[in-house]
Amino acid sequence: MAAKLNFVIVFSFCFILGANANRLFVPLEVGSWIEGQRLCAEKGGRLLNTNDFSFYLEETLKNFEPGRNFWIGDVQRISELIHIEGCYDRSSIQAMLASSILFTSALTPARCQEVCWNEYNSSYFAIKQEECYCLQGLKDITSLNLTSVAKCDYKCNTKEPPRACGSKDGGDVDALSVYKSSMVPGVSSYRCIKVECSSNKRYMNESCSKTLKPFCSQNVNMGASNWNISYDQCDKGNGYLDGRANLKDVMSKCGEIIERFPNDYVFWLGIRRQSFQTMDQGYSIRPDTLEKCEYFNTSSDLRQTDLNCSTARYSVCVLPNGMGRNGKTIPSDSTNEDPNGQNHTAVIVGGVVGGVLASAAVFIVLLLYTRYILSALQGHKSKSLLSVAKLLNSGMNIGFHGFPNL
């Protein structure tokens, strides 16, 4: 009876593993990273990324197309504009917080922005350590009460500011760093925003290395510096570089600035784009935001970085549960002919690990089944044993026919 139970458990495990395995798809077209992402999205998937990798997948790619390079989903890119809104006690914004999104690796404001912008259509987002919150239904945060900037003393693991990521653990403090997203005005490679409040009042993109005075949240007059140093100066003064601004309404911000500094007209604001590392999740990405893209080199067995994301390469797509363009399962032996007469396998079984485990499980099943039959027939003569051998031979055929070719 125990042998029968083991048989059922192992067989069920193999079935579930096989049913949920992802598959890899390699489109025949070559193109840029953006084009590769589009090809994967058309099939209902995304580009393969580092989290999907294992020795078995790498070996499969090498055997599939030795000497070829394939785009994968890991990239370094530039965010949309991030406004520094300040530090808020959780109690003051609790009603607007969506469920937290926990990041297993270093969280930055740009990564939290990417998720909230694309998944929740939320302009405001908040961070506490490795937790990202999207603020739903919030149009203007200025009506809410700020708390002391000193409470948001946890720093994000990023070289490029902003770095505030809420409060540290311990004590009674539970504060979140709040940010706002907006689109870059016009077309510019500059990442930081300045405001001019002279006769021609306007917001402008500017090189972050430019020397300007910072407009800090606290009422202090700081010396002129580049954007990064200005950010640190405001932080040391128990404040932050003020990013609370509506980019469609320069008059309101200039009125606030002129009231404090009637003789100065140009300031840094706490609004900038941030460089960050991420992986393809199927989000729409503008080509001009890409800085570095990764590809897998089957010759060197390495993941490598290319500063030119427009290089023409093949792409590797992950298709959940083997679903294709029209929701149909793509067979593992599907092939496509290219114009040069070369026969390229269009689909690779991505669950290689699952295949190995399934094979091992089938072996265990047969072993347990054999022990069960032999135990049941123990003491019989050779004629009975011959019948057992025939039964086992039939069982092996049934077992292997139930799985795809590995």
- The chain-wide mean pLDDT, for the chain, equals 76
- d(CA 266, CA 242) in angstroms, rounded, equals 14
Task: Cis check for the bond before 331: say yes or no (omega within 30 of 0).
Answer: no
* 3-class state of residue 228 by DSSP: helix
Write out pLDDT tens, residues 39-77: 999 988 999 988 887 776 777 777 766 678 899 999 999
DSSP bridge pairs for 128: 131
Residue 283, pLDDT above cutoff 90 = yes
- Residue 331: per-residue pLDDT: 28
Write out pLDDT tens, residues 16-39: 223 334 578 888 899 999 999 999
Q: For the ranges 90-99, 119-128, 265-274, 377-386, which has the lowest average pLDDT?
A: 377-386
- Residue 367: per-residue pLDDT: 59
Domain boundaries, the chain: 1-21+351-406, 23-74+301-349, 81-272
Domain 23-74+301-349 has CATH 3.10.100: yes
- Residue 356: per-residue pLDDT: 42
Write out pLDDT tens, residues 222-248: 899 999 999 999 998 889 999 999 999
Give the residue from 317, 347, 318, 344 showing the smallest Cα distance to 332: 347
- d(CA 9, CA 364) in angstroms, rounded, equals 11
The separation between CA 69 and the C-alpha centre of its own chain, rounded to angstroms, equals 22
- Residue 381: per-residue pLDDT: 39
- d(CA 239, CA 216) in angstroms, rounded, equals 7
Write out pLDDT tens, residues 386-395: 332 332 233 3
Q: Are 179 and 127 in contact (CB under 8 A)?
A: yes
Q: What's the whole-number mean pLDDT along residues 205-217?
A: 96
Q: What is the pTM of this model?
A: 0.73
What are the C-alpha distances in Å from 353 to residues 18, 21, 195, 308? Answer: 10, 9, 56, 33
